[in-house]
Chain A
Amino acid sequence: MPTTAPAALADVTASNSTLRRFLHGLPGVDAVGLEARAASLGTRSIKTTAKAYALDLAISMVDLTTLEGADTPGKVRALGAKAVRPDPTDRTTPAVAAVCVYPDMVAAAKQAVAGSDVKVASVATAFPAGRAPLSVKLADVREAVAAGADEIDMVIDRGAFLAGDYLKVYEEIAAVKEACGTKARLKVIFETGELSTYDNIRRASWLAMLAGADFIKTSTGKVAVNATPANTLLMLEAVRDFRAQTGVQVGVKPAGGIRTAKDAIKYLVLVNETVGEDWLDNRWFRFGASSLLNDLLMQRQKLATGRYSGPDYVTVD
């Protein structure tokens, strides 16, 4: 069994029962209080210089995503071009963090962003359901890494998690981490909408971090409930507490459902006030989104020119 858990918590993963005891011993989450805190941070008013900073930061944190059955190399190339230069009319616009594609599109994506700092992320492990044998999942990961993926977005086995087989989930994440090697960073997707409760989301966060996740990520974008301010706040609390206990910093990626600049800024406020500036960097915080980028760009144009922009003034890819 791979032992990736930090030394301080090594004994936690000795067996399913020790792991279970640890995860169930984490402080409970009061749903009303959590949501109220998230909502209250959402009322922060971000204006002028702070807004300009936040918009550029948000753009730089976007994992520009296409995860469709109809994806083609052409579509991925267009996406890559937009990732590198989001607003062709304004060269001062930062590039996004990464493009996020299926494993078979990694090579096309690598080409599209070649020469830039934009990373290529690939979903893997039988995304989005995760229902495949471990060997298939690991092969999925190795192929993507071999094709040049800088980041792997894996899904956890929600069935095993909900059945209480935490060790199985742990071992699978650890195995994927191993398959990522030293080059690719691992994002672990919980599909929070399927874990259903906040207590489960906190446990999944710790489980993934123990197993070596570089990022924890809310969701696939393929179910009804994806990223919410509350579940993102909860995961931010988890990475904050994990670093306090182990010294290891882990990133957070809300994904799905974040469509407007206003929303994105509210998420940045959550980051700022929960974990602080150490996480205000695309190495530690990302948005999994596709349509969000254009709204960020329109708001950026508005701020620069003083007049409201329109969809014809940003690109559709």
Chain B
Amino acid sequence: MSDKTEKTASRLPVFKTYKLYIGGKFPRSESGRVYEVTDSKGNWLANVPLSSRKDARDAVVAARKAFGPWSGATAYNRGQILYRVAEMLEGRREQFVREVADAEGLSRAKAAAQVDAAIDRWVWYAGWTDKIAQVVGGGNPVAGPFFNLSTPEPTGVVAVLAPQESSFLGLVSVIAPVIATGNTAVVVTSEKAPLPALSLSEVLATSDLPGGVVNILSGRTAEIAAPLAAHQDVNAIDLTGADEELARELEIAAADNLKRVLRPQPVDYFATPGTERLTAFLETKTVWHPTGALGASGSSY
């Protein structure tokens, strides 16, 4: 695969079989299909699973199953796990630099900058898990004897169409905010550059992230996205990786169960994100409870 390994001519390198990541396991596509992935110059890199609608269905089931425990975990715990992802990535930095360089046709230095930014992005979102509720929630001063509190809660299962171009920094930038807030994700990788995403699943699997919180599918974006957009047990969809026409079709399909939709928009993935991707997949729950008085001094007419 990469130059370095092939130069060691005395030994035949071991290729990795890239697989999907569903429910914490690494299955092949149930369809048995694969497609060829090449580097930017057209050299073969790997055969990766060409996911089917049934793989998408399985991923949704896994994501739904993981949603209760993950959304119920403490925000502190989620922050620790996201930080752990950054730690694990740091250790495998070189691998990702190689994969990103191959995938996006970047120099080593430019690929390294992408990977470093991606690692830092996990750290950034790790810190958000236990702060977002204080920033977007809070008490409301209603005009009556009631305690009234608004709290953000995760929307549920989010289908994420990862950006087509930014195969790793962009990928991390769309996954991390979704799971930081307690959602679970079914991620459709960049169609032509899925390898960094499929490798990320190995990192996620060793970062204490419970199985099913992130599920990763490679294949034809349009083919996998259609059943996800129409799936009645998917609560939201991030259309980042869809082109204009596909995005419109998917948004129409998403209306069937009123999924929350994040439309594609130009993003500079190197810039520090705002909170938009966090809040896009948060619901606000407002709880009222009477406060009343200490004693029965009572209203009088």
Which A residues contact B (CB, under 8 angstroms)?
A: 30-33, 35, 38-39, 42, 192-193, 195-198, 200-201, 225, 228-231, 257, 262-263, 266
Contact = CB atoms under 8 A, between A and B. Distances in A.
A102 B290 CA distance: 42
Contacts of A195: 296
A229 B298 CA distance: 8
Contacts of B146: 32
Given A31-B290, A32-B145, A33-B290, A198 B296 contact: yes
Contact of B292 (A32, A39, A228, A263): A32
B299 interface: yes
B292 A230 contact: no
A228 B297 CA distance: 8
B290 A228 contact: no
Interface SS, A side: helix
Nearest to A192: B296
Given A32-B145, A32-B146, A229 B300 contact: yes
Contacts of B301: 42, 229, 262-263, 266
Contacts of A30: 290, 292
B145 A225 contact: no
A230 B299 contact: yes
A200 B295 CA distance: 10
A195 to B, nearest CB: 7
B12 interface: no
A30 B293 CA distance: 10
Given A32-B290, A32-B291, A33-B290, A257 B296 contact: no
Contacts of A196: 294-296
B289 to A, nearest CB: 9
A31 B300 contact: no
B298 A225 contact: yes
A303 to B, nearest CB: 20
B37 to A, nearest CB: 63
Nearest to A257: B300
Nearest to B144: A32
A230 B301 CA distance: 10
Interface string B270-301: 00000000000000000000111111111111
